[in-house]
Amino acid sequence: MLRLLGYALMAAACMALLVMLLAASSSGITTLSSYIYGGITLRASAYRGQSLLMLFEPQHFFPAMGSTHVEGFTSALDVELRHTQRVTLELVLFSPTSANLTQPAPVTSVLLENLTLRDLSCYMFDRRTYRSRVEPLLDMAAGDWFAYDLLERALGLAASEVKGVADPAGGYRVTLQVGNETVALCALGFDASSAHVVFSNGTRTPPEVFFASLRSAAIQPGVSRPPPYLTLNVELRAYLLFKPTAMQVVRALALLAAGAVLVALDVLLTGSPPFLFLHKLRRILRRRGT
C-alpha cells in the first residue's frame, strides 16, 4: 500500500517538475485567461487641435486582475487594438435648461468616421499615487472635452510607460505585467483632422464643429452618467503567467524524494519488484511481440 501512495506522489512531483521546466525554458506558462472584445468604457477623453485622446483603465474590465497572491504567478494583460477608422461614442446629450433638468438626459450615439489611430500607450501607476493624484485629475477632465492638459498632467505622473507596438495590419499591441499595487491606464491617440461626425439621426458635421458644440450648452457629454462609451476593435486579454520560483522547485524535488522513499520502503518490506503494477502492460507488449 505504501508504494501506491509513493507512486502517486512521484507522479505529481514529476508533473510539477516537467511543468516548471517548461515554464522556466519559455517566458512562462499562461494559466487562466479571459477576454473582452469590442466596446470599452472610457475613463476620460479630450480633444485638442486635430488630436483626440481617449483613456481607459483595462483593470476595470478584469476586477480580479492583480489580486492573485499565489507564489510564482503574475497577472498580465494584452491590449490589442485593431486598425480602426470608425469609432462610435455613446454620449449623453444634455441641455441644461430648466425644463430638461427634471427629465432624464437622452442618450445618443455619435459615429466618428475616418479617424486615424496614431498611437497606443499604457501607463503604470502606484495604486496610492493613482488614487490621490491621478484620479482627481481624471474626474476633473471626465466631462470636459478640452481638458487635454489635465490628462497629459495625469499621464505625466506615471511610474512607467509601455508603448504599443504597431503591427503590419495597422493596429497596436501592448503587454502589461500588473502587480498587486499597480494600476494601469491606457491612452489611445487619434488624428481627427479628416474625421466626419455622424449623429444617430443622420446629421453630419465636421469634427471641429462637433467639438466646439460640445463646449456649448447644447451638448455636454459626460455631465451625467453613463460616461462616454467607445465602440472600436479593441481586444483585452487578461491572464495569469506562471514562472516557477526556486522554492517551488525545491518543494517539488522534496515531494519526488518522499515518493521514492515510500516506494523503496514498500519494496524492502514486501520484497516484490518495484514495477509490478506494469505487469499487465508488459504482458500485452509481449503478446504483440510474439
Partner 1 sequence: MRRWFRLRVRASRLATYSSFVAETLGGGLTAAAAVLSALAFLFALFLAPAGAPFSGLFALLFLTNVGYSAIALSGASAMVSDLRGSAQVFLSQPLSRTIYALAWLVALLASMIAVFSALLLSLAVIDPGLLGTLSLGTALAWLLDSALLSLLLLAAALLLRRTSVLVITWAAVEFGVSLLFFSEQLAQAVVVLRPLYGVLSRGGAVDTPVLAGSALLAAALLALLYWLARARLEV
- 72 part of the interface to partner 1, by CB under 8 A: yes
The piece of 53-61, 85-93, 217-225, 269-277 that touches partner 1 (CB under 8 A) is 269-277
- 165 part of the interface to partner 1, by CB under 8 A: no
| Percent of residues in the chain assigned helix, strand, coil, to nearest 5 | 35, 35, 30
Cell of 256: 519526488
Q: Are 248 and 21 in contact (CB under 8 A)?
A: no
| Residue among 24, 37, 71, 257 that touches partner 1 (CB under 8 A) | 71
Restricted to residues 10-49, the positions that interact with partner 1 (CB under 8 A) are: 10-16, 19, 29, 31-32
What's the distance, CA 245 to chain centroid? Answer: 24
| Residue among 127, 270, 282, 284 that touches partner 1 (CB under 8 A) | 270
Query: Minimum distance from CB of 179 to partner 1 (Å)?
Result: 15
Residue number, 4 or 165, with CB nearest to partner 1: 4
Residue number, 182 or 248, with CB nearest to partner 1: 248
In 3D, which of 180, 170, 129, 173 has the Cα closest to residue 153?
A: 129
Number of residues forming the site for partner 1 (CB under 8 A): 39
Residue number, 67 or 132, with CB nearest to partner 1: 67
Pairwise CA distance, residues 195 & 190, whole Å: 10
Residue number, 154 or 240, with CB nearest to partner 1: 240
Pairing of strands 107-113, 87-92: antiparallel
Buried b (16+ CB within 10 A) or exposed e, 56-89: bbbbebbeebbeeeeebbbbbbbbbbbebbebbb
Residues that bind partner 1 (CB under 8 A): 1, 3-5, 7-16, 19, 29, 31-32, 64, 67-73, 240, 242, 248, 251-252, 255, 270, 272, 276-280
